[in-house]
C-alpha cells in the first residue's frame, strides 16, 4: 500500500500546477473514482478537514487518505509522494531561474500559466459546490468577496467580518 499511495500522489504532484487546490480534482479522480479508497461524501469531508488543519491541503489530504487506506505506512507513502515532486521541481527551478528569469520566453510562460492555474482551481470548486448542494445565491458570496478584495481593494479582514455579520443577520431574519 505504501508504494500505491506514493505512486498515486507522486503522479498527481508531478503533473499539477497551481498548488493543493489545483490537485483536488486529480486526487478525487484517483482516490474516489478510480481506486475507490473513499467515497464522494468522505472526500468532501476530507477537504473540509484538510482546509481547517494547519498546513498544505495536499499534504493534509495525503495524511487523511494515507491513514484511511494504509495506516502509518500509508501516511508516509502518500505524504512523500505528495511533497517529493514539488521539492525536486523547485530545486531544479531555483538552480536555473537566476540565469533564465530575464528571458522573454520564460516571462511569457509564467504569464500564460496563470489563467490555467485559475481554471484548475475553479473547476473543482464548481464540482464541490454541486456535490455540497450550494445554491447560486450562496455561491455569489465568495464571488462578491473576491471582487471587493481584487477590484475594490478592500482589506480581506473587513470582507470576512462583513460576511459574518451579514450571515448572522440573514440567519436571524430567516428564523422569523
Query: In a structure prediction context, what are the per-residue pLDDT tens digits for the chain, which is 176 residues long?
Result: 889 999 999 998 888 777 777 888 889 999 999 999 999 889 999 988 888 888 888 899 999 999 999 999 999 999 999 999 988 988 888 888 777 777 888 888 878 888 887 787 777 777 777 777 777 777 788 788 888 888 888 998 999 899 889 888 888 888 87
Residues 111 and 173 in one domain: no
142 in the same domain as 125 = no
- Same domain for 58 and 22, yes or no, is yes
Same domain, yes or no: 129 and 141 = no
Q: Which of 133, 148, 166 is the last residue of a domain?
A: 133
Is residue 78 located within the same domain as residue 153?
Answer: no
Phi, psi of 151 (to 5 degrees): -90, -35
pLDDT of residue 62: 92
Pair (112, 171) in one structural domain: no
71 and 142 in a single domain? The answer is no
Contact between residue 55 and residue 143 where contact means Cβ atoms under 8 Å apart: no
Cα separation, 42 vs 51, in Å, equals 14
Residues 10 and 90 in one domain: yes
pLDDT at 8: 93
Distance CA 145, CA 164 (A): 12
Domain check: are 108 and 31 in the same one?
yes
CA distances from 59 to 20, 24, 99, 108 (A): 8, 11, 31, 30
Query: What's the pTM?
Result: 0.58
Listed residue (148, 128, 150) closest to 48, CA to CA: 128
Dist. CA 68–CA 65, nearest whole Å: 5
pLDDT, position 123: 76
Matching residue, cell 461524501: 41
Kindly state whether residues 23 and 56 are assigned to the same domain.
yes
- Domain final position from 100, 115, 133: 133
CA distance 25 to 6: 18
Which structural domain, as residue segments, surrounds residue 124?
2-133
Q: Do 102 and 155 belong together in one domain?
A: no
State how far the Cα of 72 lies from the Cα of 9, in Å rounded to an integer.
Answer: 16
Kindly state whether residues 118 and 144 are assigned to the same domain: no
pLDDT computed for residue 33 by the predictor? 92
Q: How many domains does the chain have?
A: 2
Alpha-carbon distances, residue 141 vs 16, 126, 154 (angstroms): 28, 14, 15
Amino acid at each position: 500500500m505504501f508504494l500505491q499511495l506514493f505512486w498515486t500522489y507522486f503522479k498527481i504532484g508531478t503533473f499539477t500546477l497551481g498548488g493543493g487546490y489545483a490537485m483536488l480534482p486529480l486526487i478525487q479522480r484517483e482516490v474516489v473514482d478510480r481506486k475507490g479508497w473513499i467515497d464522494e461524501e468522505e472526500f468532501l469531508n476530507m477537504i473540509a478537514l484538510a482546509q481547517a488543519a494547519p498546513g498544505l491541503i495536499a499534504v493534509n489530504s495525503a495524511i487523511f487518505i494515507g491513514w484511511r487506506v494504509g495506516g502509518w505506512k500509508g501516511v508516509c507513502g502518500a505524504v512523500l509522494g505528495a511533497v517529493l515532486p514539488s521539492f525536486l521541481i523547485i530545486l531544479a527551478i531555483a538552480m536555473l531561474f537566476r540565469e533564465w528569469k530575464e528571458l522573454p520566453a520564460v516571462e511569457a510562460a509564467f504569464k500564460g500559466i496563470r489563467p490555467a492555474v485559475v481554471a484548475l482551481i475553479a473547476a473543482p470548486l464548481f464540482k464541490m459546490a454541486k456535490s455540497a448542494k450550494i445554491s447560486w445565491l450562496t455561491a455569489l458570496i465568495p464571488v462578491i468577496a473576491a471582487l471587493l478584495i481584487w477590484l475594490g481593494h478592500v482589506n480581506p479582514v473587513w470582507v470576512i467580518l462583513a460576511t459574518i455579520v451579514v450571515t448572522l443577520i440573514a440567519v436571524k431574519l430567516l428564523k422569523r
